[in-house]
A and B are shown apart, each in its own frame.
Chain A
Amino acid sequence: MTSASDPDTDPMVAALDLVGKEQYHEVGEFPVEQGYVWTSCASVENGNPLFWDPEVAAALTDGPIAPPSMVSVWFRPHHWAPGRTTQALPLQVHFDLKELFGLPEAVMTDNTIEFHMPVRMGDLLRTHQVLRSVSEEKTTKLGTGRFWVIDVVYTNQDGDLVAVESYTGFGYKRGDVS
């Protein structure tokens, strides 16, 4: 075990050092496209005319936009791409923290998305992750571990803020861990 007071080896010191820092900047693999918007709307039978009727879109949003709840869709990589060997996991910061603290299990307890500038066809979105906070060690019915809050920030090609998604995760070791 490492000494909790050693700043070089104390995982909490390392974690707190990451708080507020922008990490894992990524650009979407493809521009926002109308076909995928319709695929999404069809999957949940969403008949909102904003996404199907160009006149409604022109009147309300100055042209077609994507459903706000699709914002993370534009970042999920293709299942295969030529020459690709590894890829960052979505929410890589979450997995980094599990490893840093040696916590094998994790759950997401809640997820908030705040929507800003609408996403338009042809937008090429960008994202980065920011660790907001890490708790002291806590014990819940799942086990003993730490809560953390991670923001995923989405912007468009002009740098406008599109959305901020905040995840609360709990990384833990199963019960009976002293």
Chain B
Amino acid sequence: MTTTPVAPSLILDDVHPGDELPALDYDVSATTVVLGALATRDWRPMHHDKDFAVNRNGTQDIFLNTPNQAAWFERYLTDWTGPHGRLGRVTFRMKGSVFPGDTMSMRGVVESSEVDDTGCGFVTVAVTLSVAGDVKTTCAARIALPRAADDNPWARSGERWRPSPTLP
């Protein structure tokens, strides 16, 4: 099968510490929460049954589940990198819940950029998911970017793919 080469939309040299990723604001509805729960196969009632969430969990409403938030973070990062961006590692910290009626705001800042020992380009990005200025979840992401138009991080495997930084 022959394939058309796909040009990277972002390469490592385009990115510098302090760069801000494009903002994403999204109005969360009950549908958003339920779609996310079912898409992640999370059948627990606090993600689809408001009566259970309020009366059993003591929360104000149903709320976004964690695996679906991971999917939101991945989408946010790869909207920026394009399809060549390859996630190496993500760390989430949950501080609060996201409910229907909230406008969730995702923001990201590039913290560092490096080429590892195998020649793979990586950037680290600090992403926040906030509602009305309150940070609900943080995500520290390490994502590989191509170093040139003909570089493809997805082509790496084994010793040539190190998703976590080597400890000093």
A69 touches B6 (CB 8 A): no
Q: Return the CB mask of B97-130 against A: 1 if under 8 Å, else 0.
A: 0000000000000000000000000000000000
Contact of B6 among A41, A59, A114 (CB under 8 A): A59
Assembly CA distance A113 to B69 (angstroms): 13
Q: Give the contacting residue for B39; candidates A42, A49, A109, A118; CB below 8 A.
A: A42
Q: Which residue of A lies closest to B146 (CB)?
A: A60
A113 and B70 in contact, given A59-B3, A59-B4, A60-B84 (Cβ under 8 angstroms) = yes
Instruction: Tell me if B75 and A45 are in contact (CB < 8 A).
Output: yes
B residues 59-113 in Cβ contact with A at 8 Å: 66-68, 70-75, 78-79, 82-84, 86-94
Contact B78 A43 (CB under 8 A): no
Q: Let me know if A40 is at the binding interface, CB within 8 A.
A: yes
Residues of B within 8 A of A84 (CB): none
The answer on a CB contact under 8 Å between B6 and A56 is yes
Interface of B is mostly: mixed
Task: With both chains docked as a complex, state the minimum distance between the C-beta of B65 and any C-beta of chain A, in angstroms.
Answer: 11
Instruction: Give A67-117 interface residues, CB cut-off 8 Å to B.
Output: 67-70, 72-73, 76-77, 79, 108-117
Q: Are A115 and B93 in contact (CB under 8 A)?
A: no
Say whether B163 contacts A115, CB under 8 Å: yes
The interface size of chain A toward B, counting residues with CB under 8 Å, comes to 39
Chain B residues near A44 (CB-CB < 8 A): 36, 39, 68, 71-72, 74-75
**Would you call B38 an interface residue if the criterion is a C-beta within 8 Å of the partner chain's C-beta atoms?**
yes
Interface membership of A39, Cβ < 8 A: yes
A67–B86 CA distance with the chains assembled, in angstroms: 10
With a cutoff of 8 Å between Cβ atoms, the chain B residues found around residue A45 in the complex are: 75
* Chain B contacts for A41, CB-based, 8 A: 75
B66, B88, B161: the one within 8 Å of A111 (CB):
B66
Inter-chain contacts of B1 with A (CB < 8 A)? 58
Residue B157 lies at the interface, judged by CB distance under 8 Å to chain A: yes
| Per-residue B-contact encoding for A25-57, CB less than 8 Å = 1, 0 else | 000000000001001111111111110000110
- Which of B74, B83, B163 interacts with A49 by CB under 8 Å? B83
A137 to chain B, nearest CB (A): 23
- 18 CB contacts below 8 A, A to B, read A43-B32, A44-B36, A49-B6, A56-B83, A58-B1, A60-B83, A67-B74, A72-B67, A76-B43, A110-B91, A110-B93, A111-B92, A112-B92, A113-B89, A113-B90, A114-B163, A115-B87, A116-B163
3 closest pairs, A vs B, by CB? Answer: A76-B41, A43-B39, A46-B75
Listed in ascending order, the chain A residues whose CB lies under 8 Å from chain B are: 36, 39-50, 55-56, 58-61, 67-70, 72-73, 76-77, 79, 108-118
| Chain B residues within CB distance 8 Å of chain A | 1, 3-6, 32, 35-36, 38-43, 66-68, 70-75, 78-79, 82-84, 86-94, 152, 154, 157, 161, 163-164
